[in-house]
Amino acid sequence: MKIALVGGTGDIGTGFAVRWAENHEIIIGSRMADRAVEGAKAVLQILGQNGNVWGTDNGSAIAASDVTVLCVPYEHLTSVTGDLKAFYGTQVVISPVVPMNYNGKFFQYCPPAEGSAALRVKSMLPDGMRIVSAFHTICAAALQAKDRELKADTLLCGDDAAALELVAGLATEIKSLRALRIGPLAASSLVESLTPMLLNAARKNKIKDAGVRIVSERETI
């Protein structure tokens, strides 16, 4: 598939690129095309020049893609969705975006009026777009370490069964990452709110690269 990582020059975009470039064409997007080109070169350097990775502006990346991943902070969400609405068509859109802030003492979840970042994405894109919220609790540093086993879960929410299956497949291409379906897109706030919780737990307890793993009480830990 052709996977666009819009706003993909940062840590999380780089992580997705190095994990998926072996099996897919990766398009790094940025507001400035030259910055995206440099980002693609950096990914290829990590991969030893192996992989189909290239960079362009965000709109062109979206238009060329089968899957678009929104690799931006919440405050930049409009710039890669509503402002670029004309570039979207039949893509599956993946949102790992989390609306949160730090109040000086702890991180807190700050959902928009729509109820979650994923539902805000839906409100800004053309009707009928297939949106899946996923990858909120995956550490970007761990993702960039290509051969590292994450031993974690990613929690998926969405309304389209085929889109959920596609994203679950992409998740399982990442070593030791398990995809669990949580519910419809309307349930995304439940998953998004885990990110500030994890950041607080990591900071208060000096835990590096915190993630989520759901276990059965019968499972040996």
Name which CATH class applies to 2-205.
Answer: alpha beta
Chain segment 56-65, per-residue pLDDT in tens: 999 999 999 9
Residue ranges of domains in the chain: 2-205
Residue 181 Cα to chain centre, angstroms: 15
Q: What is the pTM of this model?
A: 0.95
Residues in the chain: 221
Comparing 149 with 110, which gets the higher pLDDT?
A: 110
The whole-angstrom separation of Cα 15 and Cα 116 is 24
What mean pLDDT comes out for the span 131-158?
93
